[in-house]
A and B are shown apart, each in its own frame.
Chain A
Amino acid sequence: MCGGVIVSDLPPLPTEAPLALRRGLRFDFGAHIVAVRTNGDRSRVVATLGDGTARLWIPESVPDPFSVDLHAGTCLALAPDVDGAGFLSGGDDGRLVRLAPDGTTEVLDDVPRGWFTHIAASPRSGLRAAAAGRIVRVREVGGERLHELEHPSSVGGLTFDASGKRLAVAHYGGATLWEWRKGRFRASRYPWQGSHTAITWSPCGKYIVTTMQENALHGWRVRDKLQLRMSGYPGKIRSLDWSAEGLFLVTAGARRAVVWSFAGKDGPMDRRPTEIGDGDDRLVRRVACHPRGPWVAVGHADGRVQFCHLDETVPSILAKEGGELPITALGFNSDGRFLAIGDEAGDLVWVSIDPTLLADVG
């Protein structure tokens, strides 16, 4: 069992539900929106862009984003920093940059001709990890020592567990789990043939799940390396996220968002996933789970965004019309009152979510 309580006792929504979402504000940021994240203390939202800049704003109904230069080329990776206030950004200029809430920046690492493609940081352990090629470079906050973790191929993704002492890294041929103990890292391998392009921990810490080049997910139960195969996707799985209570893994890659249940002792083993939202032939590109309630923002290849309940019988709410460019980034702020929607052209829509929708969530 993956802990937690399923919050599913919300009243059903009216079908004319766009009322539940206030009108969104639209900003033109002028370049591909690579990622949108909230910092740990909820005071800032940041979007990183394909022109190497970021936009930083305070999450409120009418935000006032301001621009910060981060990288020479494009931003590639973004994560909240260990202090809960700042952010870490990686770019194709080989730099790892810390962005403070006031918009000041500091270069933490510089790998000439390298690309920082993936970043993770843990407030619990104070470790910062950033991948450039096959190497993950890890430093403790305040510590000078650099740990270089090498992998058989370029890194596809990396993530800390909740304790911040276990770092899971996806690569060609499987995943590697690095355990931080007494100031050093020890590796265990989780082999599975193929190219693994992203990785996530289940919030309970019992499973790691990767996305694969073959349009499939692969998972392992960490304890005994029990394999989980989750396939059948028609397209590339560009995004995945865990529901608020940690029981459901929601993914892109199909006409509707795909929901795998990790309740029970064997996770999604021998169980079919459910699908949520209204699908057409435009595949889901991004998903983002609401941080408190049983809702998921689902962004499609044509720019359409739906607000979907984890219970597939509850009608979905249209958050943004389609007929535009693919959604490239989706993110709620930490208390779930706002949703940021970014697309390939650099349009960012900032949606306020009506409190009545979340009234019972607390």
Chain B
Amino acid sequence: MNSVPVTVLTGYLGAGKTTLLNRILTEPHGKRFAVIVNEFGEVGIDNDLVVDADEEVFEMNNGCICCTVRGDLIRILGGLMQRKDRFDGILVETTGLADPAPVAQTFFVDDDVAERTHLDAIVTVVDAKFLEARLEDSPEAAEQVAFADVLLLNKVDLVEPVDLRRLETRIRAINPYARILHTQRCDVPLDNVLGLEAFDLKRVLEIEPDFLEDHDHEHDDAVTSVSVTANRPLEPERFMAWFQRLLAERGQDILRSKGILDFRGEPERFVVQGVHMLMEGNLMGEWPKGEARRSRLVFIGRDLDEASLRAGFADCVAA
């Protein structure tokens, strides 16, 4: 059976999440969505199904891995997947103060959810005028930026170009690989937010190398990114041991990780991605002809110890 894509919409209260949701539901695209919302508000279109969620965040303890999942989402997705009338997609709206991690982790952890649905992308809507203030006063705002695959910088008409550039630099320092879209009233072609397959390992290959270079940090946000590279092959066992131990020990603070790796003796590229302590990795085809075999790994997280990450990664380089 086909796996149904699930798009997660996050964003602070008033940023424009509901506007985006209503646009997705009302534009003529011939698709049918199930929408999982937290408060039954202004959404609800005849053709689509609206389901109330309770945003129940459950802790799980699987051996050495602790993580949180959305218990209500497991139940709701299970019910939706039983239905005869299947959906082209499912939208999950989270509350303004929600940490996106439990939603993302649910797709890694639950067998039924993983079998029948997949996380398409995390779409974060931010208010261009108020984002900087939110980044100062609420940790959730930075987490939502950090988790974004696509970031809608909304209400750009309300800020000056110079402020917009500063804001974008600051967003980049937190999240170097999110696609940033400038919008007014969330006015964006829907294929820029739906059907992205951003959690497919293949998409990790599209990380643009220049995003991985260092950025000048004007602000010391608690959530930042660190990217590490190596031009010589890595020792696979050493890397996996280091990476797994790193996620086990520091996974609370590492929000997301993505990497393309050159393993010694391996003709194919090894691709990894992680959400907190959960990770997946696989061989994803040979290195393109003419492209240098260069390992690159990016971490987005809270209070990252850049020196120690660099040293740990450097130790994995084959002698």
Contacts and interface: CB of A to CB of B under 8 A. Distances in A.
A213 B56 contact: no
B84 A30 contact: yes
Given A50-B82, A74-B82, A154-B54, A194 B75 contact: no
Interface residues of B, number: 29
B133 interface: no
B61 to A, nearest CB: 6
A115 B215 CA distance: 49
Given A32-B84, A235-B111, A214 B61 contact: yes
B112 to A, nearest CB: 7
Contacts of B40: 113
B79 A195 contact: no
Contacts of A81: none
Contacts of B71: 153-154, 172, 195, 213
Nearest to B52: A113
A238 B74 CA distance: 13
A31 B81 CA distance: 11
Contact of B84 (A51, A117, A153, A213): A51
A32 B82 contact: yes
A74 B79 contact: yes
Contacts of A344: 1
Interface residues of A, number: 32
B52 A31 contact: no
A117 B60 CA distance: 22
A193 B66 CA distance: 12
Given A153-B71, A325-B1, A194 B82 contact: no
A43 interface: no
Contacts of B52: 113
Contacts of A55: none
Interface string A200-217: 000000000000011100
Contacts of A153: 54, 56, 58, 71
Interface in A43-91: 49-52, 73-76
B62 A172 contact: no
B72 interface: yes
Nearest to A325: B1
A133 interface: yes
B174 to A, nearest CB: 31
A158 interface: no
B50 to A, nearest CB: 8
B56 A154 contact: yes
B79 A76 contact: yes
Contacts of A76: 79, 82
Nearest to A30: B84
Q: Which 8 A-B pairs have the closest CB atoms?
A: A51-B84, A50-B82, A236-B111, A31-B84, A195-B58, A32-B82, A74-B83, A74-B82
16 contacts: A32-B82, A34-B82, A50-B83, A74-B84, A76-B82, A113-B40, A115-B75, A154-B54, A154-B75, A172-B71, A194-B59, A195-B58, A195-B69, A213-B71, A214-B61, A236-B111
Interface of B: 1, 40, 49, 51-52, 54, 56, 58-62, 69, 71-72, 74-76, 79-85, 109-112
